[in-house]
A and B are shown apart, each in its own frame.
Chain A
Amino acid sequence: MNSNRKAFLAVALAVGLARSAYAADATLLNVSYDPTRELYSEYNAAFARYWQGKTGKTVEIQQSHGGSGKQARAVIDGLEADVLTLALAYDVDEVGKSGLFAADWQKKLPNNSAPYTSTIVFLVRKGNPKGIKDWNDLVKPGTSVVTPNPKTSGGARWNYLAAWGYALRQPGGNEQKARAFVTALFKNVPVLDSGARGSTNTFVQRGIGDVLLAWENEAYLSVNELGPDKVEIVTPSVSILAEPPVAVVDKVVDKKGTRAVAQAYLEYLYSPEGQEIAARHYYRPRLAAVAQKYAGRFGKAPLFTIDEVFGGWAKAQKAHFDDGGVFDQIYQPSK
């Protein structure tokens, strides 16, 4: 509660300061999640150039980053975001429920309103000493797996669902087997950090665990930062298609009169330049031409979507992550 309020204050303060310093024709506030910091600082500059060329007007884009759920709550509580670029549709849904935009937001932009995607991969130590190749290696006794807590981290929910989907898709796979598989996997998790960066720290700095479950783009950043002599990426045989969605906050843009520029800001993410920037930051582009260019960078393993396997975020959240859901039952003492 406390840190939440602090984060909100910090955002409010930063926005206030930034506002007094510039006098652009329009200002947008993009409320995003943690790992997109570098992506959007590059994209914002590109979009401002494009917008000035097209309309002759200047635009100033402010960024706010934090845990996806925390960011969504800040917007629900009154942070005036023009656009949301969050980690999962569930968080955007919740903002919509508060009345800031309609429930069909995901249909307003192409590709489920997700201009770039990612997936869940494994980060292992140099040389892969435990020989981890696929999901079923994670449940072996003696293998230690690091992932954040799905209850507090949006990213970790993708990890969990990817494992579940893998088990379901094995020959003879069913709900029961998937449950047993995920239970066995979490029995191998020694630490559940509250967020993705915390888990990366645990794995890399503390040297805990044989494998870290991570978003592909985060895994690449870790390899770049630490050098390929420390860690390497393993792509499992099948994984989930993570679709971080974007949305215009209708109520806010109508009030501020920024609808046109906010809409253009998100649409330009689908343009060749926007896609190029996303790909440079290790997000998978949607545009075939750009995907071709960066093909060597991304694994070819088949990816399933949350809609195919779980019937969408609302269902997945309720069945797996809400209180009393499957994840809780893994840790509930047997009665």
Chain B
Amino acid sequence: MSSVVLKRHSVLPGFGLTVGYTLLYLSLIVLLPLSTLAFKSSSLGFDAFWTTVSSARVVASYKLTFGASLAAATINAFFGLIVAWVLARYTFPGRRLVDAIVDLPFALPTAVAGIALTTLYSENGWLGAPLARMGVKVAFTPLGITLALTFIGLPFVVRTLQPVIDELDPELEEAAASLGASRAQTLFRVVLPALLPAWLTGFALAFARCLGEYGSVVFIAGNMPMRTEITPLLIITKLEQYDYPGATAIAVVMLVASFVLLLGINLLQSWSGRRLAA
């Protein structure tokens, strides 16, 4: 409730104007293109729509895409936190360089990332060869897909957390310590709760990015039906048959599922934010 009260007493004018602008802008940039998706797929009729989006092969691709994206976002949430913490809290030689490296997955064309990772992790690659001897196959398996998605998603977690850690006053930790909290208590009771909302945002961004990723994954996935086909590849497959309605039908399912998940994470985030404020 407190946020609503704040807005009413804001010193800046123009609430009506900016909200109007926001709605118009979102409609033009986001809702309009997406509504054409719904429109195209609606030409299928419900039965054909359902047959398309529930066929065994498409369902297998949902499982893979959502599973690998979730795994990649989780890995990034954990290691991204460490990276962000180190970059925000410590100064060491080469820090700026490391800081810049974090952004590389943003900037690199995804196909380049995919080819580079495949070269590295295929069975004759630098890392793939020793791993293959240990019986671990990375390229052309779901593991490889997860790896590519982890690469793509890292900056989202780091860049969301970093400013929040910057803002987090070290005196809080000192106060906790001087009041007798152990290191673990300080971490789990003081630091992590303060980071939780931003952490969730970073996780959600990384996750959402992975769901739609195509360019890097097709190279490392091997694209075997039922096993390593991601959902975006099936959309391309439909387009290759000029089956626009079928392609948009799958896209609509992806869209709705992603939206529900992101909405859920947003709710979780505002809940954790409120808990923090209370």
Binding site for B on A (CB under 8 A): 1-4, 69-70, 73, 76, 94, 149, 151-152, 190-194, 198, 201, 205-208, 317, 321-323, 328, 331-333
Contacts and interface: CB of A to CB of B under 8 A. Distances in A.
A94 B125 CA distance: 41
A152 B123 contact: no
B122 interface: yes
Nearest to B122: A206
The 9 residue pairs across chains A and B that have the minimum distance between CB atoms? A331-B225, A206-B122, A191-B222, A207-B124, A69-B240, A192-B223, A151-B237, A194-B218, A94-B242
Contacts of B215: 2-3
Nearest to B244: A73
B124 A152 contact: no
Nearest to A76: B242
Contacts of A69: 239-240, 242
Interface string B106-118: 0000010001001
A194 B223 contact: yes
Contacts of B247: 1
B44 interface: no
A208 B242 contact: no
Contacts of B224: 191-192, 331
Given A208-B122, A331-B225, 12 more contacts: A2-B212, A3-B214, A94-B242, A152-B233, A192-B222, A194-B223, A194-B233, A194-B236, A198-B218, A205-B119, A207-B122, A328-B225
Interface in B216-241: 218-219, 222-226, 232-233, 235-241
Contact of B241 (A194, A207, A323): A323
B23 interface: no
B139 interface: yes
B140 A191 contact: yes
In terms of DSSP, what is the predominant structure of the interface of chain A? loop
A210 to B, nearest CB: 14
A317 B243 CA distance: 13
Most chain A C-beta atoms within 10 Å of own C-beta, residue among B119, B140, B218, B242: B242
B122 A151 contact: no
B115 A333 contact: no
A76 B241 CA distance: 13
A33 to B, nearest CB: 13
Contacts of A149: 223, 237
Contact of B119 (A3, A198, A206): A206
Contacts of A191: 140, 222-224
7 contacts: A2-B212, A4-B236, A69-B242, A73-B239, A152-B237, A328-B57, A333-B226
A1 B232 contact: yes
Nearest to B37: A1
B134 to A, nearest CB: 19
A221 B198 CA distance: 52
A69 B118 CA distance: 25
Contacts of A152: 223, 233, 236-237, 240
B48 to A, nearest CB: 11
Contacts of B119: 205-206
B223 A332 contact: no
A304 to B, nearest CB: 24
Contacts of A198: 218-219
Contacts of A151: 237, 240-241
B115 A201 contact: yes
A332 B57 contact: yes
B148 interface: no
B142 to A, nearest CB: 14
Nearest to A95: B242
A151 B242 CA distance: 11
A3 B40 CA distance: 20
A11 B276 CA distance: 50
A157 to B, nearest CB: 10
Contacts of A73: 239, 242
Nearest to B55: A323
B246 interface: yes
Given A73-B242, A322-B241, A190 B222 contact: yes
A190 B247 CA distance: 26
Given A152-B236, A190-B140, A2 B123 contact: no
A333 B224 CA distance: 13
A95 B80 CA distance: 47
Contact of B243 (A4, A70, A323, A332): A323
B56 interface: yes
A3 B212 CA distance: 11
B251 interface: yes
Interface string B86-125: 0000000000000000000000000100010011001111
Most chain A C-beta atoms within 10 Å of own C-beta, residue among B124, B225, B238, B246: B225
Contacts of A321: 241
Nearest to B58: A323
Contacts of A4: 236, 239
Interface string B182-219: 00000000000000000000000000000010110011
Contacts of B237: 149, 151-152
Nearest to B118: A206
Contacts of A331: 57, 224-226
A206 B241 contact: no
Given A191-B222, A332-B56, A1 B123 contact: no
Contact of A208 (B123, B212, B235): B123
Nearest to B243: A323
A198 B122 CA distance: 14
